[in-house]
């Protein structure tokens, strides 16, 4: 289901990262701090939190209170960071993930925001804004969640590629929508718990891709998981590259053909237009990475795509 070129790159990157273990503690700690700020900012922003990335960083790293922002938004930042710590703790355990684990993640997400609902399955009907999918009735939630955690440890799930399993698991949880509030944040924390247990770094779904993310979830509601799986796979590829760049010793500058360049520059002297390269990058067919809103690639990546197409 993962696009074959994308899958080949991911598996190669994972092998390279695994070969470097144990990873340098200082480099990993620095990157982890950076990614956790981005993860917290983006996951909250997807749900409507108006704090900026810089404001999120100031709250987490310096305890600053941002003027003009609500107490709830501040709690959402601190809570999410504490939930990440709990997810990292769970990732180190060999025990199967349980409903109690998921409820505790949710409890941390909603602490001091809605203590009455935090960590408790909903007892009312809910609708997902902007989605056609109707979550199950409240009395179905507990048995559906029991089935879900059984699925996570079952043969069907374990036979999947870890990224596919994480994507499917994320959708199943979100479709059940077991809580009154905080399902999105909890679902993305659960997504990364599944990735962590398979040895992958966190997948940070960006606010800028919110529409694409919701569309992929909507397609999964109809049984088409390809868009969601490949979206999460592309995010995983970016995280794997970030970790490798952080822990590999750069004793020499990359060659001209291996330097990251904009798609506009890459298109010069190439048979592919900037628009076509953008499409390839967005669909995972071209080795590329995103910085802010801009995609970057290399001349060697374009050569790899060309050679793969000719095979």
Say which CATH number the domain at 184 has: 1.10.3290.10
Determine the pLDDT at residue 176.
98
CA 238 to CA 235: how far, in whole Å? Answer: 5
CB contact burial 110-137 (16+ within 10 A = b; e otherwise): bbebeeebbbbbbeeebebeeeeeebbe
41, 53 contact by CB (below 8 A): yes
Catalytic residue list: 177
Domain check: are 228 and 273 in the same one?
Answer: no
203, 192 contact by CB (below 8 A): yes
First-to-last C-alpha distance (Å) of the chain: 20
5 closest CA partner among 299, 281, 210: 281
Any residues with CB less than 8 A from the CB of 85 and at least 6 apart, and which? none
297, 261 contact by CB (below 8 A): yes
Domain check: are 229 and 269 in the same one?
Answer: no
Domain check: are 33 and 165 in the same one?
Answer: yes
Domain check: are 227 and 270 in the same one?
Answer: no
Domain check: are 17 and 128 in the same one?
Answer: yes
Q: What is the residue-averaged pLDDT of the chain?
A: 93
**Helix (H) or strand (E) segment spanning residue 179:** none
Determine the pLDDT at residue 248.
80
Q: Side by side, which strands form the sheet with 261-262?
A: 261-262, 294-297, 288-291
Domain that holds residue 269: 256-310
Domain check: are 233 and 279 in the same one?
Answer: no
Determine the pLDDT at residue 309.
72
Which of 200, 224, 247 finishes a domain? Answer: 247
Determine the pLDDT at residue 294.
87
Domain count, the chain: 2
177 closest CA partner among 239, 226, 127, 245: 127
Both tokens assigned to 137: 């009735």
Domain check: are 70 and 201 in the same one?
Answer: yes
Determine the pLDDT at residue 252.
58
Q: Is 188 exposed, middle or buried (0-12, 13-18, 19+ CB in 10 A)?
A: buried
Domain check: are 133 and 279 in the same one?
Answer: no
Both tokens assigned to 288: 């590329």
Determine the pLDDT at residue 253.
66
Q: Pairing state of beta strands 288-291 and 261-262?
A: unpaired
Domain check: are 240 and 290 in the same one?
Answer: no
CA 281 to CA 264: how far, in whole Å? Answer: 13
Does this model's pTM top 0.75? My answer is yes
Query: Which neighbouring-strand residues pair with 291?
Result: 294
Domain check: are 196 and 294 in the same one?
Answer: no
What interhelical angle do 25-46 and 226-247 show, nearest 10? 150
Determine the pLDDT at residue 191.
98
Which of 247, 277, 292 finishes a domain? Answer: 247
102, 192 contact by CB (below 8 A): no
Domain check: are 238 and 282 in the same one?
Answer: no
Domain check: are 67 and 151 in the same one?
Answer: yes
Residues of the chain with pLDDT under 70: 249-253, 310-311
CB contact burial 26-52 (16+ within 10 A = b; e otherwise): eeeeebbeebbbbbbbbbbbbbebebe
Any residues with CB less than 8 A from the CB of 289 and at least 6 apart, and which? 237, 238, 241, 260, 295, 296, 297
Which of 247, 274, 293 finishes a domain? Answer: 247
Determine the pLDDT at residue 249.
61
């Amino acid at each position: 289901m993962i696009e074959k070129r994308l899958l080949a790159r991911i598996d190669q990157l994972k092998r390279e990262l695994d070969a470097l273990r144990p990873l340098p503690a200082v480099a990993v700690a620095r990157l982890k701090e950076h990614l956790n700020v981005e993860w917290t900012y983006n996951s909250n922003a997807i749900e409507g939190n108006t704090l900026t990335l810089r404001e999120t960083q100031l709250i987490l790293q310096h305890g600053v209170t941002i003027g003009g922002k609500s107490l709830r938004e501040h709690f959402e930042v601190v809570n999410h960071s504490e939930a990440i710590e709990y997810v990292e703790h769970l990732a180190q355990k060999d025990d199967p993930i349980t409903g109690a684990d998921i409820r505790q993640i949710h409890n941390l997400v909603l602490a001091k925001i809605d203590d009455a609902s935090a960590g408790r399955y909903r007892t009312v009907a809910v609708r997902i804004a902007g989605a056609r999918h109707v979550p199950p009735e409240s009395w179905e939630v507990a048995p559906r969640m029991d089935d879900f955690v059984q699925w996570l440890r079952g043969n069907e799930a374990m036979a999947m590629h870890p990224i596919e399993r994480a994507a499917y698991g994320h959708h199943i949880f979100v479709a059940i929508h077991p809580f009154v509030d905080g399902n999105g944040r909890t679902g993305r924390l659960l997504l990364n718990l599944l990735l962590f247990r398979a040895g992958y770094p966190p997948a940070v779904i960006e606010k800028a891709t919110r529409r694409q993310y919701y569309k992929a979830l909507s397609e999964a509601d109809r049984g088409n998981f390809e868009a969601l799986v490949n979206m999460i796979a592309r995010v995983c590829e970016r995280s794997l590259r970030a970790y490798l760049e952080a822990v590999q010793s750069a004793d020499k500058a990359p060659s001209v053909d291996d330097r990251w360049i904009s798609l506009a520059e890459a298109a010069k002297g190439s048979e592919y237009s900037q628009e076509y390269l953008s499409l390839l990058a967005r669909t995972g067919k071209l080795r590329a990475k995103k910085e802010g809103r801009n995609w970057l690639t290399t001349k060697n990546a374009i050569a790899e795509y060309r050679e793969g197409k000719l095979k």
